[in-house]
Chain A
Amino acid sequence: MKKILLVVKREFIVRVKKKSFIIMTVLVPILFACLAIVPALLAQIKSDSEKIITVLDESGFAVSGLKDMHTIKFVNETKPIDSLKNDLMKNNNYAVLHIEKNEDNTIGNITMYSEQVVSIDILNSITAQLRMLSAQIKLKEYNISVEQIATILNPGMNIKTIQMDEQGNEKESNTTALMGLAMICGVLLFFIILMFGIQIMRGVIEEKSSRIVEIIISSIKPMHLMMGKIIGVAMVVLTQILIWIVLFSIIIFVAQNQFSDIVNQIQSYVQAVSFAKMFICFILYLILGYLLYASLFAIVGSAVDNESDTQQLQAIASVPLMIGYFIMLMVTTQPDTPLAFWGSMIPFTSPMVMLARIPFGVSWLEIILSLLILAATFVFFTWIAARIYRVGILMYGKKASFKELIKWLKYKK
């Protein structure tokens, strides 16, 4: 036991000290903060440099109608178009908008002259404004106001979704929030398992290819070495998640204004689902799912001599994980299919699939059953992995086939 702790400690310290760990841990929250803050900052910068578009409106419809947008100011002019075009360069204006008139007094050809290419955004919003103006003119002819037509076309209908339980309690639910939360948890789980599973595999290969393993297992049992490695990396995962939670909380707290959307969304999650249930399940499925896949990745690592040989065998571990990921994606839109149920029971896919199902309401009984199956499978596969690992780490020279792995399984010590 003491020796396992030594291995755990080494695995943990070596990984936590790595630059990549530090960068990941700090950079992810910062990137996240940037994603939220930068657009807000950019919007502020833009408004400082206002763009002026001069408008020559021969039709007369748009003269009063074009509203300034937050970066664009419209200035009406009556000078002939040629002199306006000349002024464009001189005054460093953004563009000239020339609206011609048809013979029947409607808006005719519209042309925009500019030095730079006009951005799609600006073009779209001008088009929308002109369309609206044109509609207004038409509506005026029929004596209908814009407000009237708006209430007809957009009568403000929202479907309120209410979840009921067996006791008849009603709870307002928010389907988009549920799906969002389910997705985030499942995707997070998938990436964590994949990333750290591969780390385990690399660790095993490093020890095997550098023959360190021979020195180590002359002092510690292979099974203990493997367990120490898996637990050590698990500690790294938990540390990273903990630091992320803390950093995210700080960022969101400090910049509450910029994150009002996210804060609202989180609040809606908390209201929509039993947040504690989700959190507990996330941690449990993460730990058990990670342990199961870690032993699979350890098998792959022990069967090869170097990383370039891992491609084929890695499928043993990565294919079930991928399948789980895709079932999870389906479950977020169709949470009540048999696929969803079985996916959340079969241990290789259950961590992701069950997390995706939970927001839509899964009984504790089902969750506990699924967790038990997962735990039993993890114990079984760790036993298998230990048997293969023990033989594999001492086999040099060629990469093992799947058949050989089975043979190793049957070896006596």
Chain B
Amino acid sequence: MILRTENVVKQYANHLALDNVSIEVPRASIYGLLGPNGAGKTTLIRIINQITAPDSGKVYFDGLELQEKDVYSIGYLPEERGLYKKMKVGEQAMYFARLKGMSKHDAEKNLQKWFQKFEIQAWWNKKVEELSKGMAQKVQFIITILHKPKLLIFDEPFSGFDPINVNLLKSEILNLKQQGITIIFSTHNMASVEEICDYITLINKSKNILSGQIDEIRHNYGDNIFEINYRGETDILQENIGDNYQILGCSDQKFFRTVKIKAIVKEPANTLISRIIKDTEIVNFNEIIPSMNDIFIKLVEEDK
């Protein structure tokens, strides 16, 4: 575990921002922090960054209780982000790098490397106000990861990027994971969660209402619906699968038929397959797994 929070509570003047939130973030994973607006994600992130302190509860980083020097090992890209408009890009990047404890020499060397990688060397002497929003975000991304933190926290990192740069960023994030860096990733974009996250935590109304590995969660929230493409007679199929299953719908395609089956009594998928395969040729067998989007909406709605 790179990061662990234990029963973190944070109370603001008239509302409870975090109510006994515990999360465990495994090393070298991409960890999605999900939740509707105002659920308490930003407060949790601020606590991890030591911008505010919890009222009670503990935060452990790399095995030890969170300390002041840990800010050097954490990189944070806030959702609403800004740069000094009147400052030159290079100067500014140097300033932030040095605030994160890098030496002048290292900061300059690493910045040059990243500017080259993102092909933005020409921006070094430009003022930030001359950059477009997307351009400024690239600079901010570099500033966030420059000091080689063990833990990166991105709050909605893809907003404001065009699809090409989203891909560039995604591949960079996966690259960082390869290098053993852990990434906490707060977003509303469920498609990108499914695509790159290994684990998630869903925070709603200041509470952690769901935590775990993403595949497991999706599986657990499945409605046991299967979609099968086959060649053969529907009547025989129905007879073979028995009363434990209900056929939701059928349609004929050009070369095969498609059927949707809901399991009323839960059985391993293999049992179902062995029943069907008896008198029917299976072209395609699929368990329909709910998207993170569906799970998110379902849980948040239920929690109302």
Question: Which positions in A face B, CB cutoff 8 Å?
Answer: 3, 6-7, 10, 14, 18, 206, 209-212, 214-220, 394, 407, 412-413
Contacts and interface: CB of A to CB of B under 8 A. Distances in A.
B133 interface: no
Given A6-B95, A211-B80, A413-B52, A218 B71 contact: yes
Contact of B49 (A7, A14, A211, A218): A218
A220 B99 contact: yes
B98 interface: yes
Given A14-B87, A206-B84, A210-B85, A218 B143 contact: no
Interface string B23-55: 000000000000000000000001001111101
30 contacts: A3-B99, A6-B95, A6-B98, A7-B99, A10-B95, A14-B84, A14-B86, A210-B82, A210-B83, A210-B84, A211-B78, A211-B80, A211-B82, A212-B83, A214-B51, A214-B78, A214-B80, A214-B81, A215-B81, A215-B143, A216-B99, A217-B51, A218-B49, A218-B50, A218-B74, A219-B96, A220-B99, A394-B52, A407-B13, A412-B55
Interface of B: 13, 46, 49-53, 55, 71-72, 74, 76-78, 80-87, 95-96, 98-101, 140, 143
Given A214-B81, A219-B96, 7 more contacts: A10-B95, A209-B82, A215-B81, A216-B96, A216-B99, A394-B52, A412-B55
Nearest to B87: A14
A21 to B, nearest CB: 12
Nearest to B50: A218
Contacts, number: 59
B79 to A, nearest CB: 8
A303 to B, nearest CB: 15
B252 to A, nearest CB: 57
| The 9 nearest A-B residue pairs measured at CB | A210-B82, A218-B49, A211-B80, A413-B53, A214-B78, A219-B99, A211-B82, A218-B76, A212-B82
A182 B258 CA distance: 97
Contact of B84 (A212, A218, A394): A212
B40 to A, nearest CB: 14
Nearest to A413: B53
Nearest to B147: A219
A206 B85 CA distance: 9
A10 B140 CA distance: 18
Contacts of A217: 51
Nearest to B71: A219
A344 to B, nearest CB: 40
Contacts of B95: 6, 10
Contacts of A407: 13
A318 B162 CA distance: 47
Given A206-B84, A210-B85, A215 B13 contact: no
A6 B99 contact: yes
A26 B51 CA distance: 42
A188 B80 CA distance: 40
Contacts of B55: 412
Contacts of A412: 53, 55
Given A14-B87, A210-B82, A407-B13, A215 B96 contact: yes
B51 A218 contact: yes
A220 B71 CA distance: 9
A217 B99 CA distance: 10
A18 B74 CA distance: 33
Nearest to B86: A14
A212 B80 CA distance: 9
The interface centre, meaning the residue of B50, B87, B99 with most chain A CB atoms within 10 A of its CB, is B99
Contacts of A14: 84, 86-87
Contacts of A212: 82-84
A219 B13 contact: no
